[in-house]
Amino acid sequence: MSDTPILQVENLSKFFPVQRGLLRRTVGHVKAVNDVSFAVNKGECLGLVGESGCGKTTVARCLLRLVEPDQGRILLHGEQQTFDIASASRKEMLDVRRQMQIIFQDPFSSLDPRWRVTDVIAEPLMAQKVGRGEAGRRVLDILPTVGLGPHFADRFPHELSGGERQRVSIARALIVSPPLVVADEPVSALDVSVRSQIINLLLDLQSQMNLTYVFIAHDLSIVKHISHRIAVMYLGRLVELGTTQQVFEECKHPYTKALLASVLIPDPTHREQSYVLEGEVPSPLNPPSGCHFSTRCPFAQEQCSAEEPDLRDMGGGHWVRCHFAEELDLSEEIFAPQFDKPAASN
Amino acid sequence: MPNSQPILEVHDLHVHFKMLAGIVRAVDGVDFTVERGRCLGIVGESGCGKSVTARSILRLLPSSDTSGQILYHPDGDGQPIDLVSLDAKGDAIRAIRGKDIAMIFQEPMTSLTPVYTIGEQIMESIRQHQNLTEEEAQELAISMLNKVGIPDAERRFGDYPHQMSGGMRQRVMIAIALCCEPRVLIADEPTTALDVTIQAQILRLIRSLQQDLDMSVIMITHDLAVIAQLADFVVVMYLGQMAEKAPVVELFQDPKHPYTQALLRSIVRPDTPPREQLHSISGSVPDPRNAPSGCRFRNRCPSVHDRCVEDPPVVEFGPQHSATCWLYVDD
């Protein structure tokens, strides 16, 4: 891991128009991603977390230009040159995609059912105009790297289990040896016993191939396990960014605290969970004024609904978007117990 | 303990589906007891038979071959009713379904009908089981919506499901399930489709309603953390068979079956060292159509040995703790 950034996202925004009526008039915009900036350093894993609708998947798709960003720059520092993905030409995108690939969430819908595994994995090479024979050889080379035998090459996706399919997706992403991989919820669709295999594989590959990950997930314990740094999103905005230690142990944003407190601990003797967040994520079509979290925040004051806080540096690379980040004491358990103790077995 | 009488007893339950490709033994010999006012957790991965077990209690399965006993003990001194012997479409089960035993399904998006308002859907359940006028039923429905924490319940009463968020829809499902004050609530992965903060709200709601109404809960999930937080007693299933059952603390502190042990080791805990390799179970859950004979976990089991090709025995480790494994049997 180094401090040299491989990817710099600056003021990225993506607004989806909402159209109504017969004439499809645009009646508003969903601000899916709103002025998001962060950097990813070479060899690190940046975790991106938040609830559904917070914009984390849209960020991932913007990074690869699978959706067109509306504003901002996405700088990819390649081996020879730096690309601005947001404004790159089709030809430049071909180079970009050799440096950056994505693993999708659902291995049941991200593999074409009519393609054999070998064709699925070779597709990025075809796009890069690599010859068929060479591509076939490289597929056979990469299969053992992701823990699949050579006999998998001729199978169809329906013959594979969820874990095997996700290994195929990983192989497809790694076949062009990209230094940067975006993983969008790569384990949420998998069974518990298979999930740890895939996490182990991702960790192994990272150290073997010196990969950089942008790891998107809603399961915080997994994000904590795999990430060096974590970015928390709420309603299209980045609300906290810092090292895993800073975000998990010294979080300064009440939303991060609420997210962490809702993680269920797999220990029946620890049931005094606290701080359950009331209410739901507001509609991104009409986000609350001022701080977007002010409607659910237990510490909200007048200032919070009046003006939107900036993302401020708290020192040591710890960024927080809250007016009262310095004053709030989030270390204590603030709310009433969530569950009682388990009944003693009789 | 004041509540230690059973309300539901499942004995030697087998559910087999006849398919073109052969017989699928979705549930193969499951035994457990649900006590009054307690929460039983059934945990397992996809294909382990946990949902089939739940649905067979309410006889919600399409043509299947169900054998065994599911004894429901109604309040008072009534005779236990064997739900397996009832006609799946008859009046007897319909009087129990939704009234005495209610169920919440996994997908709040698909288990409400889009063409009726949520108020109508709650009232349907109320008027099926209780002899109330339309106005009384509406009043009860609104009070249920309030109870499950839907703000502005009178206005939301006329909403259609598509106007609500996932968490709200799951609350509506819970309101439908609870409007007749059931004795047993079966919750089949009630929070899997929801975000973490909403999951915490829903679980807290189920827990507090369980205590208020002195209701029994069967919580079906793949998530060991949900089990740890809610269940009093746990059944671990693997490919249709019961691997282990135990009181919750005992299961987490002293698991006996190699599958339970491996599952508990493979999850990330707050104190797991970051970025270290996790324990994992090799392979993946086989297709239930070609499950291995004998112990069904044997092709993934780290402690597999010769005897595992035969059906494993149930070994008792205490009055309530047992595991189905050859490991604890001396030659």
B83: three-class secondary structure by DSSP = helix
> How many H helices and E strands in chain A?
10, 12
Domain-wise residue ranges, chain B: 36-59+88-238
The pLDDT > 70 percentage for chain B reads 98
CB pairs under 8 A between A and B: 159
Nearest residue of chain B to residue A54 (CA atoms): B195
Q: Which CATH architecture does the domain made up of B36-59+88-238 adopt?
A: 3-Layer(aba) Sandwich (3.40)
Q: Mean pLDDT in runs of 10 for chain A (346 residues)?
A: 88 92 85 94 95 90 94 92 93 92 89 95 94 95 94 93 93 95 91 90 95 93 94 95 94 92 88 72 87 91 93 94 90 46 41
Q: What's the Cα-to-Cα distance from A160 to each of A155, A166, A171, A172, A278, rounded to whole Å?
A: 8, 9, 14, 15, 41
Residue B197: its pLDDT value, please?
84
Residue A274: its pLDDT value, please?
58
Q: What pTM does this model have?
A: 0.89
Candidates B152, B164, B172, B196: best to mutate against A (most CBs of A within 10 A) is: B196
Helical packing angle, A117-127 and A132-145, nearest 10° = 120
Contact A185, A220 (CB under 8 A): no
A343 vs B contacts (CB less than 8 Å)? 1, 38, 232
Contacts of B257 (CB under 8 A, 6+ apart): B236, B243, B244, B297, B323, B324, B325
Q: Cβ of A200 and B277 within 8 Å?
A: yes
Summarize pLDDT for B231-283 with one digit per residue, the tens: 999 999 999 999 999 999 999 999 999 999 999 999 988 888 999 999 989 88
Kind and range of the H or E run holding A40:
strand A25-41
Residue B331: its pLDDT value, please?
66
Structure token pair of residue B272: 């797991």
Domains of chain A: 5-227 (3.40.50.300), 249-320 (no CATH)
Confidence band for B183, pLDDT divided at 50, 70 and 90: very high
Sheet holding B22-35, edge to edge: B22-35, B6-19, B65-72, B81-82
Measured between CA atoms, how close is A161 to chain B, in angstroms?
Answer: 7
Residue A150: its pLDDT value, please?
93
Summarize pLDDT for B66-111 with one digit per residue, the tens: 999 999 998 777 789 999 998 888 899 999 999 999 999 887 778 8
C-alpha to C-alpha distance for A119 and A114, rounded to whole angstroms: 10
Q: Cβ of B199 and A194 within 8 Å?
A: no
* DSSP strand pairing (A5-20 vs A71-77): antiparallel
The pLDDT > 90 percentage for chain B reads 63
